[in-house]
Amino acid sequence: MICLVLTIFANIFQTGWTGANERTFVAVKPDGVQRRLVGEIIRRFERKGFHLVGLKLVQASESLLKAHYWELRDKPFFNGLIRYMSSGPVVAMVWQGLDAVKTARRMLGETNPADSLPGTIRGDYCLEVGRNVIHGSDSVESAQREISLWFQSQELTCWEDCSQHWIYA
């Protein structure tokens, strides 16, 4: 009920969600999809206690990817990154939970898999920075921007998770 009221009165793309309602954007990159790691990645987020509110398999357009990676446009690897990200399907997700952005980033591991600890997604499944399986928002502001790029508001589902009282005090 509270979630429905918040959805009606708040625009999730302009209002910072905090606490247990914080949202983050996570994308399984083409190499993660090709390696069939999607289920394992979803399992990790679910077991952590996060709440899935958006999920879709997409072939990302060049314009979407350029907007998503806009801050990297001057880097020498930018064009290669866009080619790689458009080379196959991407699984785009929105997860909700307490400190979702920070916690998801820790679950992903470092951008360079060589710096990632075992137990993180990149630490367990990646060897090279150019094929690092997954993307996660690096701040609440980035999460809001990325969610609005990849999802329309009607594609995000607000639903009551009956396990929440077992996760949050």
Q: Per the annotation, where are the binding residues?
A: 29, 77, 105, 111, 122, 132
Active-site residue list: 135
Is the CB of residue 102 less than 8 Å from the CB of residue 109?
no
Q: Annotated binding site for ATP, which residues?
A: 29, 77, 105, 111, 122, 132
pLDDT, position 75: 96
Confidence (pLDDT) at 168: 87
Can you spell out the DSSP letters for 1-17?
-HHHHHHHH--TTTSPP
pTM above 0.85?
A: yes
Q: What is the mean pLDDT of each run of 10 residues along the chain (169 residues)?
A: 40 57 97 98 97 97 97 96 97 97 97 96 96 97 97 92 85
Q: Which pLDDT belongs to residue 17?
A: 67
Residues 6+ apart with CB under 8 A from 145: none
Condensed to tens digits (0 to 9), the pLDDT of residues 59-74 reads 999 999 999 999 999 9
